[in-house]
Amino acid sequence: MSSAVAVKCAAILGATGVALGAFGAHGLKNFVTDPERLKTWDMASRYQLIHAAALLAFSATGRHSRSVVGLWTAGVTMFSGSIYLLVLNRDAFRPLGPVTPLGGLFMIGGWLALLAMP
């Protein structure tokens, strides 16, 4: 996967991570009063932003790995995305509960794929 694709993935994850983090810090309090759920939202946006930065840094190395970019992008989408939906409406999105740890495994897999690169 080209570094241009990694930059685009990083840009999308970064922009949405900032927007969702800001919403969690300011607008979400009107809908969610449980401080634990607000902390969970914050953690999801933090992981999203960390991986956006990691993707951007990886693309700057000029190295290419479909595995690293794909695993990180899919992992963040699954992990953070499922958390956002579960915080918004736990009952409606309960079936997504198992997606969260699977997304975490994908993110870990991306780091291990980075380690395994020559």
Mean pLDDT along residues 81-103: 97
Cα(81)–Cα(95) distance, integer angstroms: 13
DSSP per residue, 84-96? HHHHH-TTTTGGG
pLDDT, position 1: 64
Residue 2: pLDDT band (50, 70, 90) is confident
For the cut 90, the answer to whether the pLDDT of residue 70 exceeds it is yes
Residue 104 burial by Cβ neighbours in a 10 Å radius (0-12, 13-18, 19+): middle
Cα(13)–Cα(19) distance, integer angstroms: 10
* Pick from 36, 68, 40: nearest CA to 54: 68
pLDDT tens for each residue of 33-52: 999 999 999 999 999 999 99
pLDDT, position 34: 96
